[in-house]
A = this chain, B = another copy of it.
Amino acid sequence: AVAMPAIAQSAPEVKWRCASSFPKSLDTIYGASELMAKQVSDITDGKFQIQIFAAGEIVPGLQALDATQNKTVEMSHSASYYYVGKDPTFGFGTAVPFGLNARQINAWFLFGNGLTLMNDFYKKYGVVMFPGGNTGGQMGGWFRKEIKTVADLQGLKMRIAGIGGQVLAKLGVVPQQLAGGDIYPALEKGTIDAAEWVGPYDDERLGLYKVAQYYYFPGWWEGSAALNFFVNQEKLAELPKNYRAALTAAMAQANESMLASYDAKNPIAVQSLVKAGTQLRRYPSDVMDAAYKASHQLYDDIAAKNEDFKKVYEDMKAFRNNAYLWWQIVEFTYDDFMVRARTRG
């Protein structure tokens, strides 16, 4: 029953700023933060307004976390692994090579120890993290020549950052750090030999298929990539309880919406890329095996010196072990059948 007495309620006007680490051109990622802000506004009758600022508008994209920590902004939409330079433990908030797939990382965050452990860690930076979307499994990058064996990686200059870059360095690659907009000209001029970005939908818009023919999969350094909302701890605590609930629900909606959006867009984009001449290539087994081995050696090395990393890594690894044991039973055999049934027509 809907009764309509006009009941006076304390609904303060709150204005927040959210620094995104992303340009508006990454419209699937950026769109999720806009959805979050719109929902918070709609829920509160416009009383709680969150304005999103694209990378560079208030602070550079890679300083979104710092801006949240020092209260330049109340919150940010970013990717935890952008901050592995501060501490490699940040990797687990987004993606580490051979980590969890998109459903698994969400399960680890929400119903495993993932979010609790990561938020224990983020306390050092004065922020609270909420899952803020996922790209799904990413592609393994664009190459100007074919990779037939791990030897073909030797001396290759590749645009790839973070822990994935460190692992590829162990395999002979020379990792380069380049902003999204600089990738195309560098590949075109041959300043770099390869580059990774996201997946078909985002990569197509960057035009990389025009300057590199071979498109490798899977992107084993990002079996999925979780984005993150970082909220300043004190600012979150200042919010009335109802606004905090509104924010939480809106962030959860953004979280599920982004993955669904990528899952709808990538199938169309990959076909368009193939029509434009892109050659899809699966990473050779020896590259996958060498990368897997190098990744886990790196993790063991880091864990030996970094208690935070060790704690989260061990928990993630145990969760992954259980998750893939189950995954191989139903999800994998169902997908296996459906993939083959589709190919048969």
- When the two chains form their complex, are residues B7 and A13 in contact, meaning their CB atoms are under 8 A apart? yes
- When the two chains form their complex, are residues B8 and A9 in contact, meaning their CB atoms are under 8 A apart? yes
Contacting residues, chain B, for A218 (C-beta < 8 A): 329-331, 333-334, 337
Residues facing B in A200-230 (CB within 8 A) are 200, 217-220, 223
- When the two chains form their complex, are residues A43 and B106 in contact, meaning their CB atoms are under 8 A apart? no
Number of interface residues of A (CB under 8 A): 97
Please give me the residue from chain B that is nearest to A46 by CB atom: B242
Partner of A14, one of B2, B43, B327: B2
Partner of A280, one of B2, B10, B329: B329
Contacting residues, chain B, for A245 (C-beta < 8 A): 39, 42-43
- When the two chains form their complex, are residues B332 and A335 in contact, meaning their CB atoms are under 8 A apart? yes
Contacting residues, chain B, for A220 (C-beta < 8 A): 334, 337
A78 to B309, CA, bound (A): 42
Distance to closest chain B CB from A287 (angstroms): 11
Q: A interface, by DSSP: helix, strand, loop or mixed?
A: helix
Q: Take A2-B239, A217-B333 as given contacts and tell me if A338 and B106 are in contact as well, using a CB distance cutoff of 8 Å.
A: no
A5 to B8, CA, bound (A): 12
- When the two chains form their complex, are residues A260 and B14 in contact, meaning their CB atoms are under 8 A apart? no
A280 to B239, CA, bound (A): 50
Does A63 touch B at the CB level, under 8 Å?
Answer: no
Does A288 touch B at the CB level, under 8 Å?
Answer: yes
A271 to B103, CA, bound (A): 20
Does A282 touch B at the CB level, under 8 Å?
Answer: yes
A108 to B196, CA, bound (A): 27
Please give me the residue from chain B that is nearest to A250 by CB atom: B249
Does A47 touch B at the CB level, under 8 Å?
Answer: yes
A–B complex contacts, Cβ < 8 Å, 23 sampled = A2-B12, A2-B14, A5-B12, A7-B12, A11-B11, A39-B245, A43-B43, A43-B245, A98-B338, A101-B334, A106-B260, A110-B256, A111-B265, A138-B330, A219-B330, A246-B246, A252-B257, A267-B326, A270-B329, A280-B329, A282-B333, A325-B342, A328-B339
